[in-house]
Structure 1
Amino acid sequence: MKKLIAGAVVASAMIALTGCHTNQAKQEETKEVAQLNNDDLYEVSHEGRHYVFDDFATYQSFLTVGETSYRKVFIGGGPKGETLVFGLTGADKKKMSGIASIDMFKGEMAGAESFYGEMRGEDGRLYVFSTLEDMEDVRTVGEAPYRFTQIAAGPQGQTVVFVLNKNNKKQQPVALMAKFKEMNNMK
């Protein structure tokens, strides 16, 4: 009888450990899926608020409508103390964590190797980025020390500033310019 009980305890422990391992694997898989959305980020300073998006369609909808259906708002959380608004997709609206725009903005998630970003400033300029680090620098400093500028090249005739860095400052950003045209349906 003691052997039967001991065997049952061991079997229960094995099942519990397997269940924990399965749950841990599911959590790691979910975390990995959330990190796949680190290839783009969009920011807009508008009417005293700073909006951030990790979804191009949500960003484009905001540019058209001026609002987002789903959002997380942080009063005083913006780069200059303004209200910070994260525009969310329907899939992200109930999440408490694992939202790429929030994680990238806070520096908790790195940008992908093929990162693309846009930042629309109150000055009417459209800044375009190939690295999240360059985007963070411009957000912090307020200006891009290295850049390639095209006047009236934006979708609504804005000045477009292609942000460069120490590594690529002497090259025309041909690939970034092509990506910008592709993203904004410009020929």
Structure 2
Amino acid sequence: MSFIKPRFIKPVSIALLAAAIAACSTNTPTAATASKPASSKAVDVVQNNTDWYQVRTETELYLFDDYAVFSQFLQTGKAPYTKALDKKDNFDRSIVLALAAEDQSKSLDAVAASRLWNVSMAPAYPFYGEIREEQVIYVFSRYGDMVDMAKIGEPTFSYVEVGGGPKGERIVYVLAKEEKKPEAAIKAFHAKYK
């Protein structure tokens, strides 16, 4: 440290200490206080952020935050209520919320699927997600990977089970670079469909 003049060390140290104390004493919400809901609508959103589902067609992207509605849609091609967002994804598909009947009157800020799409709500941990497109099921254990795939269309890293789906679909487990076989994601997927 002979290259730093001693007369500068003390003022710089004091300035850094003052900045650290100021940063610790600001009134920004912490994770514990930020997760506390302010209203009953917020409670519904917080309780519904553990899973997120999407179905891609040639012209539409359906978003689900309720597994029962998603499952019904897979069987019948219909949801109890749909709400077009008047937005398009990166692949020119119209974005549509698929909701349970009791959620149709909620504002978009109270619908978890909308907030997850807009990246305005943190997901719960552990997280589970699926994207269905034709005969492929993409399975996610990280919300960020699902958001990234919405932008680029395909996962960067994956583990594939050919014919592993309930109707013989190809299952693509989306991975982080360092992951090997995603045992927890495989177990979560098979628990939903067996």
Change (3 A) 1:108 1:157: same
Deviations 1:29-72 (A, max 9, x none): 54244212100000001241111100111001111111212111
- Looking at structure 2, the residues matched to 133 and 150 of structure 1 have their Cα atoms a distance apart, in angstroms, of 22
- Looking at structure 1, the residues matched to 154 and 124 of structure 2 have their Cα atoms a distance apart, in angstroms, of 23
Instruction: Could you list the structure 1 runs, at least 4 aligned residues long, displaced by more than 3 angstroms after superposition.
Output: 25-30
- 1:76 Cα deviation from its structure 2 partner: 3.9
Change (3 A) 1:69 1:47: farther
Q: With the length of structure 1 as denominator, give the TM-score of the two structures.
A: 0.78
- Looking at structure 2, the residues matched to 33 and 111 of structure 1 have their Cα atoms a distance apart, in angstroms, of 13
In structure 1, the residue matched to 2:19 is none
Q: Is the 8 A contact 1:73 1:84 kept in 2?
A: yes
Paired residue secondary structure (2:88): coil
For residue 179 of structure 2, what is the amino acid of its counterpart? K
For residue 49 of structure 1, what is the amino acid of its counterpart? E
Matched length: 158
The counterpart of 1:105, out of the listed 108, 111, 117, is 117
- Looking at structure 2, the residues matched to 170 and 100 of structure 1 have their Cα atoms a distance apart, in angstroms, of 28
* Segment drifting more, 147-156 vs 25-34: 25-34
5+ residue gaps, structure 2, are 1-35
In structure 1, the residue matched to 2:101 is 90
For residue 183 of structure 2, what is the amino acid of its counterpart? V
* Segment drifting more, 63-72 vs 49-58: 63-72
- 1:26 Cα deviation from its structure 2 partner: 8.2
Q: With the length of structure 2 as denominator, give the TM-score of the two structures.
A: 0.76
Q: Is the 8 A contact 1:75 1:82 kept in 2?
A: no
- 1:131 Cα deviation from its structure 2 partner: 1.0
- Looking at structure 2, the residues matched to 108 and 140 of structure 1 have their Cα atoms a distance apart, in angstroms, of 16
Task: Supply the RMSD in Å over aligned alpha carbons.
Answer: 1.8
Paired residue secondary structure (1:75): strand
The counterpart of 1:41, out of the listed 52, 60, 85, is 52
5+ residue gaps, structure 1, are 1-24
- Looking at structure 2, the residues matched to 72 and 29 of structure 1 have their Cα atoms a distance apart, in angstroms, of 22
| 1:55 paired to 2:96 | no
In structure 2, the residue matched to 1:175 is 184
- Looking at structure 2, the residues matched to 26 and 130 of structure 1 have their Cα atoms a distance apart, in angstroms, of 25
Paired residue secondary structure (1:157): coil
